Each structure stands twice: as C-alpha cells, then as structure tokens.
Homo-oligomer: A and B are copies of this chain.
Amino acid sequence: MKKSFLIILFLTSFYFSHADDGYRLWLRYDKIDDAKLLAQYNKDIAGIKFNSVSLILQAAKEELLKDLQSLLDKKIPEQKLIINGSIIAGTPASSIDVKNFFSVNEINDLGDEGFIIRTTSVNNKKVIFIAAKNDAGVLYGVFHFLRLLQTHQPVYKLTITSIPKIKLRLLNHWDNLNRSVERGYAGISIWNWHTLPDYIDQPYIDYARANASVGINGTVLTNVNANSLVLTKDYLIKVKALADVFRPYGIKVYLTARFSSPIELGHLKTADPLDSLVREWWKQKANEIYSYIPDFGGFLVKANSEGQPGPQNYGRTHADGANMLADALAPHKGVVIWRAFVYSNETPTDRFKQAFNEFNPLDGKFKKNVLVQVKNGPIDFQPREPFSPLFGAMPQTPLMMEFQLTQEYLGQGTHLVYEALLFKEVLNADTYEYGKGSTVAKVIDGSLDNHELSGMAGVSNIGNDINWTGHPFGQANWYAFGRIAWDYNLSAATIADEWIRQTFSNNKNFVDTVKKMMIASREAVVNYMTPLGLHHIMGYGNHYGPAPWYNKAPRADWNPVYFHRADSIGIGFDRTEKGSDALAQYKPEAAKKFETLATCPDKFLLWFHHVPWTYKLKSGRNLWDELCYKYNEGVDTVRWMQSAWNNMKKYVDDQRFNEVRMLLSIQEKEAIWWRNACLLYFQTFSKMPVPMQYEKPDHTLEYYESLKFPYAPGNG
C-alpha cells in the first residue's frame, strides 16, 4: 500500500511538473491535490443518476462524468438507484427524482437557465441534486458544481439557487472572414472558415465548454465591421456547422449584418429600410438562415458609424433600420442588437455627446425584439471612462452593455490587466434614472424599466494562440465577463479567487498574492496610461503605445490632442456648461459631482474639466505634480507585480511562470514608455519640472515621437 502510494506520488508530481501551455483554461480538473479533501469528496460523491434525454443534458452528463473522474481520480459510476452520495441531475421532465422532490413553484422560479444545487436526503440516502427547469440550467448547474470542487469548496451541505441576471450573455468576435481579428492580440480567428463545415476543430468544442462553464449563451461570430458574404449560402453552411457544435452547450449563434447586403448580395438598387424589396430581401434572408439554424440568435449591426453603411444613407433613422431587421427576424424569435457606437465627423459636437444625441430621441421607436448595445463609456473602451449617459436615458429601450475584453486600450496582448474592476465600476455607477440606486446594472438587467430582454456583450479577446488569449491572464477577463453577466453582484475579488484556483492553484499564498496583483492591475494601467481622467491619447491606427502629440488623423476626434487639450494653462476637456456641456446628458444628480472641480473625483477630473497645471488637488499636490505622481505610481505598481509574481515560482508550472514573468517585463517597459512619453510631452505645456524623486526619462520626446510600429497587431 505504501509502495503504491509512493508510485502515485511520483507519477503525479511528474505530471504536474510538465509544462502547461494554458490551453485548458480554467477547465483543468486536475486531481484534487489535497488528500484530506479528496477523501472527503470521495465520500460525498459516489454515483451519478442522470438521465440525459437531450443534447444539452448529454453534454452536461459527459462533462460531469469526465471531470469527476479526473478530479477524484476514479470513475464515478452511473446508477439506476439512489445511493448515499448520488448526484441526481435533471429537470422535472428528465428526472422523476427532481420532479418528485421539488415543488412546481420552486422549479418554475428558476426560469430558463437557473439551477438549484442542494445536498439533501432522499429515501434516507444523502444525495446532491443539480436541478433546473430547463436543460440549460442543468448544464450550468453541473459546471457550477465542478467549480466548487475545483476551488476546494465543501459540497456536503449545499443550498444553492442561481439564476442569471442578464438574458443575453454574448461574446462579440471582431473576426473577419480572412481570419484576421480587428483588435485581436492572440493570433488569428479561431474560426477557420476555409475548412468549415467539414472540419470541426477541437477548439470549437472547448470554446463552447468554456463559455458554458461561465454562463455565456451566445456568440456573434463576425466583425461588426461586417462582410455581407457571411450571409451567403456558402458561409451559412459553415455557420450552421458551428451552431451545431455550440447548441449542446446552450450557445446560440449570431451574425453581424452588413446593412448594404441587399445591394451587394441581392443586386438591389438600394438598401433603404423602407423599400419593400429591401424588406422582402431581409425577410427571405432571415428565412434562409433559420432553415439552417432554427435557433439562430439574431443580428448585431454597426450602422452609420466609422464608414459602415446604414439607414441614414437613405435619410432614415437607426430605428427604421433596426425595425426592418427586427420584422424579418421576429417570426423566428430572433433579436436585433443595434450598436449605439456612432459618431460623425461632420457633426462639430463633442464626440462624447453624439451617441446620446442620436439615440436618445429614438427611445420608444424600436420594435420589441431590438436591443440597443451601448459601449460602457461615451468614447471608446478607455482604461477609465464615466458611464455612458445613454444608460438611464432610454427607459423604453432595452440597453445592452458592450464591454471590451480584448485589451485594445489596456496594453493589448502583453499587459496584465484584470478588467472585472472596470466592469463593476461601470455597473455600480448610479444613473439616478429614478433617483439614487438606479445603477447601470439595473438598467442593463431590465429591472429598472421592466424589460423582458436584457443583454451584456464582451468583445472577445480570443484567438488561435495555444492559450486562447495570448496573455495567460487574458483568460481571466473572458472568465470574469461571463461570471459578471450571470451575476453582477459577484465581487471582482471573488471572481479572481475562483479563476486563480481553477487556472493555477488553490494554494493560499498563491491565491492571495495573485488576487492582489489582479486587483491592483486595473488602477495600474489607468495610472501609467491615462491618470486623472485623461483619455484617448494612444498611438494612431494601431492604438499601440502613447502618442498624446498626435494630430494628423483624417478626423479631429481621432486625434489625442482633441481629447486632452493641453495648453499653457492646463489640461483636460471642459465638458461643463462652460464647455461642451456633455454633462447635461446625465441626470442632474448624476452630473452634479462631476460639475465642479471641487467635487469631481480626481479619477474623472480631466474627463470633465480643463484644469490649470497649478490647481491644487485633494492630495495637496498641484495638477502637474499629481500627474507625475500618478504616472510613477503606475510604473511602481507594475514593478510590485513583477516582484510578487517572482515569488510565486514554486506554485506554478515553469511554462506559465516564465510567460507571465516575460510579459510583466514587457509591461514594465511599456509602462515606463507611457510615463516618459506623456510626461515629456505634457511638460512642453506645463513648463514645470518633474519632481526630483522620480526617475528621469531615458529618451527625449523626439525619440518617443519617432517610434513607428508598422506591424503592430490588431489592425484587422
């Protein structure tokens, strides 16, 4: 016995010392490495009673069997009879035990996707129920249960009820048909359109598993800068193949619809949404799509924005465009997700205000199956933005949140930035739509305005890199997005805790340290890139690195100088009523704290005010000194993260340890680059010295301005 134990120990340690390429994400399900806990689990779990009468239940059961075998290092048998330690999974329709045990109300309250996990007794046998009203709920319950085991939670006394707060929890892939990914930093698209539908790449399946495990229930396969070809038969057959892979994991497929498709594909003379031939074309196209994919989710549309065609080309409104598509999809229960990310160079208004100006008047004009998808902030996924004033301003329209998981403005493929804090900050912001407590989250989940439809989208950070997201910690943002879309009350720390345990290790020292790193990382990137409310001062085109000096873009509001407005007096964009008055788009109570220099939180200061260099902040430092302080604080935090990570070597496999170590070193280099370039440039306006205690820039401003990166990734 002792001998066999030693042998197992040896094999196990050998297995763990293997390099880990990160492909398995948080779905590792390695054997529980705490012997006492493993013994307990093996007592708690003795068998499975799981009647899998549908594709989804079958996927759930396979997942449960496979992962339990791996976690518990033994095959958990299926049983017809209930024994002590049975896991009983199912719906009232699939499982007589579920039907008998739970009340009709209790089950109905779970809705389409909720679940119960409960440790209880049936016929004097101790069992664990994973019960739901619908199959999808069982799937989510299974993954939740597996998460409990992977995070070393006790399972002998479970009383969990979990219901998603948001209905549509979608990834948006900005993936092109040639496999390039706009703002993608993890290789090329995982969709290999060329070999579809005949070749089902293993990552398609594991992508579906990963999404299901965090509750993501839909995916928009194609770039919002859309290509109409994806709506042709050749491609719909490929889309169908993916939909067939995803269906057992509760995931619906959506496509982006190029507004001019009736012209490009249907050879019509117009794409006018009020033209009857155009309307008929879309109706037929929808019918065709549903003939391949009966549960097709719907269309995501970027129209009349950054060069995309749209209804305004024909003197129609966004509502006209969206409603036409909505009519085509309605018979099939599909939805239209219409993006509010619009701004026009011809409008001389502050870009901040344009989405609101265009969409706010359309409230109430959209059909029932339309959601308007709004980026979290008014500009474009900056390290920190105030919430978009559209939230709380369109009570008659279900507004869908658009977060960006891919780190376009957050260090791209090489910076460790945990985004859950950003997501939470926005969701917790108060719109004051109906007085205090009218948080963005309550707008989004539909509760504030009583919408049936609700949605949250994350612009995917997934590519064909072996570890999916390039940076091993990029996985955490995918994970956190799903978890928050399911339940935005989960704290960023809780989600980080879960993710670290599943992805790396349950070791307390490791979990505590890495959690601290993740939590610190978001403010770090704000500090070394855009402290105090600076925004949109990155490189032109590729958005890589700092370029606050840039002023040569073909439109003013693509230029950093448009946004920071530095001059000899100060820096920042005056959006008070003396300035662009963007603040007027917020409810007065929400605007109030931003309105005056005295009340405006430092972190939003330059979003709303042009502040004199000598203005004294709450810290006692003047603005220039505070800017120097913040930029250096950002760099310092990265250095702290580096040293913290270096102490984690013994808890991580060599491969991932080294990957993160190298990436943190790039992050440090680039944080310094941001700090030096920005301070040197802003100093040409402030004419004030960088306080003695800080590192001196190792290059001149001219040097930083001369840097070129013709092949920086992500331009799509």
Q: Is A703 an interface residue (CB 8 A)?
A: no
**Is A665 part of the binding interface, using a Cβ–Cβ cutoff of 8 Å?**
yes
Any chain B CB within 8 A of the CB of A599? no
Shortest Cβ gap from A236 to chain B (Å): 15
* Interface membership of chain A positions 176-208, coded 1 if the CB is closer than 8 angstroms to chain B and 0 otherwise: 011100000001100001110011101100000
Is there an interface contact between A199 and B662, defined as CB atoms closer than 8 Å?
A: yes
Q: Does A712 contact B (CB under 8 A)?
A: yes
> Cα distance A14–B73 when bound, in Å?
10
Interface size of A as a range: 35 or more
**A377 interface contact, C-beta 8 A:** no
C-alpha spacing A4/B199, complex, angstroms = 41
Tell me, yes or no, whether A160 is within 8 Å of chain B by CB: no
In the assembled complex, the Cα of A420 lies from the Cα of B473 at a distance in Å of 42
**Oligomeric state, in copies:** 2
Cα–Cα distance between A713 and B196 once the two chains are bound (Å): 13
Inter-chain contact B465/A198, CB cutoff 8 Å: no
Contact code string A460-480 (vs B, CB < 8 Å = 1, else 0): 000011100000000000000
A198 touches B11 (CB 8 A): no
With the chains together, A464 CA to B188 CA distance in Å? 9
Contact B198 A711 (CB under 8 A): no
Query: How close is A550's CB to chain B, nearest CB, in angstroms?
Result: 20
Q: Known A7-B8, A414-B199; judge A713-B21 contact (CB<8 A).
A: no
Closest B residue to A74 by CB, please name it.
Answer: B10
Question: Within the assembled complex, what's the spacing in Å between the Cα atoms of A662 and B15?
Answer: 31
Most chain-B Cβ atoms within 10 A of its Cβ — which of A4, A709, A710? A4
Determine whether A556 belongs to the interface, using a CB cutoff of 8 Å to chain B.
Answer: no
In the complex, whether A413 has a CB less than 8 A from a CB of chain B is: yes
Bound-state CA distance A665–B665 (Å) is 46
A219-253 CB mask vs B (1 if < 8 Å, else 0) is 00000000001000000000000000000000000
Measured in the bound complex, the distance between the Cα atoms of B704 and A125 in whole Å is 66
A69 and chain B: residue at smallest CB distance = B14
Q: Which 6 pairs from chain A and chain B are nearest by CB?
A: A4-B4, A178-B711, A199-B662, A177-B711, A198-B666, A4-B7
A-B contact pairs, 20 of them (CB 8 A): A1-B3, A4-B4, A19-B202, A21-B23, A21-B202, A179-B711, A187-B188, A187-B464, A188-B464, A194-B413, A194-B709, A194-B712, A194-B713, A195-B413, A198-B665, A198-B669, A199-B666, A202-B655, A202-B659, A203-B466
